[in-house]
Amino acid sequence: MGPDGSFTAQKRALPTTATPNGGVGGRGSSVLPRGRQIQRTFNNIKITILCGFVTILVLRGTIGFGNLVSSGPDAENAHLIEETNRILDEIRSDKDPDDHFVGRNSKYSLGPKINAWDKERKLWLQKNPEFPNLVRGKPRVMLVTGSPPNPCDNAIGDHYLLKVIKNKIDYCRIHGIEIVYNLAQLEREMAGYWAKLPLIRKLMLSHPEMEWIWWMDSDALFTDMAFEIPFSKYKDHNLVIHGYPDLLFDQKSWIALNTGSFLIRNCQWSLDLLDAWAPMGPKGPVREEAGKVLTANLKGRPAFEADDQSALIYLLMSQKGQWMNKVFVENSYYLHGYWAGLVDRYEEMIEKYHPGFGDERWPFVTHFVGCKPCGSYGDYPVESCLKNMERAFNFADNQVLNLYGFRHKGLLSPNIKRIRNETHNPLQYVDQLDVRHAKHQTTETQG
């Protein structure tokens, strides 16, 4: 999922969702060859047999089925582990033999061109009042994230993916945001960095009741559980992305914007932007050649294949008049906060500030750019990444646990402790300590 070399750490984290096998994109759905279907069926049978072995071992350990198998338990367990690893390796390397690249002369498309989405969507909303795009005066928002469909290269990676999605679910539950976690491969050509584009487009067209689609990488955590996006600020804009205009237009930097966390409105303008953004994405020669163009035009960019972030920066730079009047480059709060400058300051933040600021005082999002807990490589040592991801998760989780009278024993501890006794008047704590009210008060219980 991306180039093999390590690049500048400030580059936003690489892909979150892997990509499709047909479906969208102006290409007909491909039917798997019969041999391929047989191979997948055979893999499923092997997994079923493996589960049977596990069941037998569990039964022997609990009710003493010692006579079922004659070999010693250590040998059996070693064989089971070996067989498990072998099958997982097969799953991880499960590639379609008919994978193909988009040719140099073929222009990639996310799907059939749509020209009247705003009108069609407005009519749909009128006919379906039970699915409004505004709820209690606030726009309906769908947070979208995901990860590859295969197991992580290491078990601890799957554990941290679970923690990060728990964090996102907590934030969405608190603020009434819908969430989609994607594992499906929607577009085979748009692998790696680019997987988000066909997914976002599909969600826009399938959920016309959603006013905003909010993409967030799988290695980004909410660390201010009280902060809310100021949507009224963006009433005249269709794309909200963290970045700095001077880096974008004066320095032409490849890190001027960060596509690890951004909001895009469900409208015709956004569909047009996705159509203009996508052609550099197809894996193979197209992406490789586009990478050369991006490296030649963006300051500081290493030589590697085209990525979605660099492509968006180049698009907005080269077609500024067409797009920028609807783009809000946000830096008044941390829609994306680079982790290396934040995680070591959490204790200071707890002592001096409280949730609700969303900026350097209490960052809204902490993004672990350069860390690949699910992959086999990264820009930072795995131990450092996991330690700091644990701190970020617990820093955020304390804000959730506070309402229930608990907190983590430390920012590096998964264990919790009680911080107040039960009371006969529990509603006082709901009013005082619910994280949604936290920005109006200090949080001494987190100190």
Convert the pLDDT of each residue in 327-364 to its tens digit: 999 999 999 999 998 999 999 999 999 999 999 999 99
Nearest to 307 by CA among 280, 274, 336: 280
Residue 173: alpha-carbon gap to chain centroid:
17
Compute, in degrees rounded to 10, the torsion defined by CA atoms 126, 129, 135, 137: 50
Long-range contacts from 252-256, C-beta under 8 angstroms, 24+ separation: 252/297, 252/298, 252/299, 252/317, 253/298, 253/299, 253/300, 253/313, 254/11, 254/294, 254/298, 254/299, 254/300, 254/301, 254/309, 254/310, 254/313, 255/8, 255/10, 255/11, 255/300, 256/313
pLDDT averaged over every residue in the chain: 82
Convert the pLDDT of each residue in 386-414 to its tens digit: 999 999 999 999 999 998 889 999 999 99
Q: Are 367 and 260 in contact (CB under 8 A)?
A: yes
Tens of pLDDT along the chain (447 residues) come to 444 434 444 444 433 333 333 333 333 334 455 555 666 666 666 666 666 655 555 455 444 444 444 445 565 566 556 655 554 554 444 444 444 444 444 678 899 999 999 999 999 999 999 999 999 999 999 999 999 888 988 889 999 999 999 999 999 999 999 999 999 889 888 988 899 999 999 999 999 999 999 999 999 999 999 999 999 999 999 999 999 999 999 999 999 999 999 999 999 999 999 999 999 999 999 999 999 999 999 999 999 999 999 999 999 999 999 999 999 999 999 999 999 989 999 999 999 999 999 999 999 999 999 898 887 667 888 889 999 999 999 999 999 999 888 999 999 999 999 988 877 777 777 777 676 665 444 333 333
SS3 content of the chain, % helix, strand, coil (to 5): 45, 10, 40
| Contacts of residue 111, Cβ cutoff 8 Å, sequence gap at least 6 | 24, 25, 26, 198, 201
Q: Write down the pLDDT at residue 258.
A: 97
Nearest to 182 by CA among 138, 213, 228: 213
Q: Are 179 and 142 in contact (CB under 8 A)?
A: yes
Nearest to 171 by CA among 141, 191, 210, 147: 141
3-class secondary-structure state, position 313: helix
Convert the pLDDT of each residue in 169-187 to its tens digit: 999 999 999 999 999 889 8
Q: Are 264 and 295 in contact (CB under 8 A)?
A: no
Q: Distance from first CA to last CA of the chain, Å, rounded?
A: 40
Concatenated DSSP letters of 138-201: EE-EEEEEE--SSPPSSHHHHHHHHHHHHHHHHHHHHHT-EEEEE-----SSS-GGGGHHHHHH
The pair of structure tokens assigned to 28 is: 């007909």
Rounded Cα distance, 65 and 57, in Å: 9
**Residue type at position 104:** R
Q: Write down the pLDDT at residue 192.
A: 87
Rounded Cα distance, 90 and 226, in Å: 43
Q: Write down the pLDDT at residue 39.
A: 64
Q: Write down the pLDDT at residue 260.
A: 96
How big is the CA angle at 149 (ends 147 and 153), to the nearest 5 degrees?
80
Q: What is the largest CA-CA distance in the chain?
A: 78
